[in-house]
Amino acid sequence: MARKLSFRNAVNEALALEMERDSRVIVMGEDVSGGTGSPGETDAWGGPFGVTKGLSKRFPDQVLDTPISESGFIGAAVGAAASGLRPVAELMFVDFMGVCFDQIFNQAAKFRYMFGGKATTPVVIRCMIGGGYRAAAQHSQILYSVFTHIPGLKCAVPSSPYEAKGLLIQAIREDDPVMFFEHKMLYDVEEEVPEGAYTIPFGEANLLREGKDVTIVALGRMVMLAMQAADALAKDKITCDVIDPRTTSPLDVDTILDSVENTGRLVVVDESHPRCSMATDIAALVAQEAFDALKAPIQMVTAPHTPVPFSPALEDLYLPSADKISAAVRKIRQKAAA
């Protein structure tokens, strides 16, 4: 019987397989081992969510705890990548980009271009994204669109354990800097995951479900919600294509356009704020390239233009949901029928 693995353990397994394959792959970050220098046990944490638990025992020379100095160690990961290693640095929460963004967007992203093609910077920066954990405004953001904006970076947003393992192994083998966004509410999700190493190429979207009425494009945890919405809609004989782009940079525009050519309707689901987001980006691309195919206005299901609230009552309102996605689909479905 096929083996099931949680998203958390899929990430852990990908890191272990790659560290085993290549001693130049090192994992670094705050508490990625945990307990370094303390009187109690080492490998105390494995990151705040236990994602890297056990790795420091198996790979003591390749797993490095750091001080809480994001600029320092993210920059060190970038410098190490430019000088022969293949580091996977954990930024912990993407929200912490505020204290180290320079090393990512001015240094890592631009080396190759500024240095006339001589630099190769194979660094992966893992970080947690997303709301639902009641973690409030500074530990719940999405922010991948900020990185997607920057030439020189690649951005992967896995939506399931299988996707996480394949995309992370691919990320580590990429010769360009990769931002890897793990939604914290997915860590306990389980599905069948092959045991050995496998890769999922960047820039190839996953068409999870085929339908004829509406195209739903969703990212990260939103893919699961989009599938739930599509299930519910199918009961009312509304069928949807559900597309997971997997990576926002590069972005597989063709798969989205092909789908919209067939359905004539698009709903983009993005847990980000509505402005300058992947939702607006994909909507703009479709408006530019497939305007004639559209039978109804493009709909965006996003979080509002507010920080992420703490109170469960407010955060539930803040986040997109399967119901909100269904409502958006029904709205343009009805509009076209009218």
Partner 1 sequence: MLQLSREELLQAYRRMKTIREFEERLHVEFGNGEFPGFVHLYAGEEASAVGVCQQLKEDVDYIASTHRGHGHSIAKGCDVDAMMLEIFGKQGGLCKGKGGSMHIADLDKGMMGANGIVGGGPPLVCGAALSAKHLKTGGVAIAFVGDGGSNQGTTFEAMNLAAVWKLPAIFIFENNGYAESTASSWSVASGDIAKRADAFGMPGKIVNGHDFFAVYEAAKEAIDRAREGEGPSLLEFKLNRYYGHFEGDAQTYRGKDEVKRLRQEKDCLKLFRSRVTETQLLDERQFAEIDDEVTGLIENAVMKAKAAPYPTAAELHTDVYVSY
H or E stretch at 55: helix 55-58
Of 154, 159, 180, nearest in space to 18 by CA: 180
Q: Using CB under 8 A, which residues numbered 205 to 264 contact partner 1? A: 250
Under the binding rule (CB under 8 A), the answer on residue 118 touching partner 1 is: yes
Q: Catalytic residue numbers?
A: 139
The smaller minimum CB distance to partner 1, of residues 82 and 129, is found at 82
Under the binding rule (CB under 8 A), the answer on residue 60 touching partner 1 is: no
Q: Which of 71, 228, 239, 321 binds partner 1 (CB under 8 A)?
A: 71
Task: Express the helix, strand and coil content of the chain in percent, nearest 5 each.
Answer: 40, 20, 40
Under the binding rule (CB under 8 A), the answer on residue 48 touching partner 1 is: no
The smaller minimum CB distance to partner 1, of residues 203 and 274, is found at 203
Q: For the CB of residue 275, give the shortest distance to partner 1 in the complex, in Å.
A: 26
Under the binding rule (CB under 8 A), the answer on residue 33 touching partner 1 is: no
- Binding segment toward partner 1, per CB under 8 A, in 84-92, 252-260, 293-301, 324-332: 84-92
Question: Six-digit token pair at 302?
Answer: 């996003």
How many chain residues bind partner 1 (CB under 8 A)?
A: 46
Degrees to nearest 5, angle at CA 290 with 286 and 291? 95
Q: Using CB under 8 A, which residues numbered 160 to 179 contact partner 1? A: 174-176
The phi, psi pair for 190, rounded to 5°, reads -115, 150
DSSP 292: G
Which amino acid is located at 309 in the chain?
Answer: P
CA distance 221 to 182: 9
Q: Which of 42, 44, 120, 190 binds partner 1 (CB under 8 A)?
A: 120
**Is 284 exposed, middle or buried, given 0-12, 13-18 or 19+ CB atoms closer than 10 A?**
exposed
Under the binding rule (CB under 8 A), the answer on residue 59 touching partner 1 is: no
Under the binding rule (CB under 8 A), the answer on residue 58 touching partner 1 is: no
- For residue 24, the SS3 value is coil
Residues lying near partner 1 in the complex (CB under 8 A) are found at 24, 26, 61, 64, 66-67, 69, 71-85, 87, 102-103, 106-107, 110-120, 151-152, 154, 174-176, 203, 250
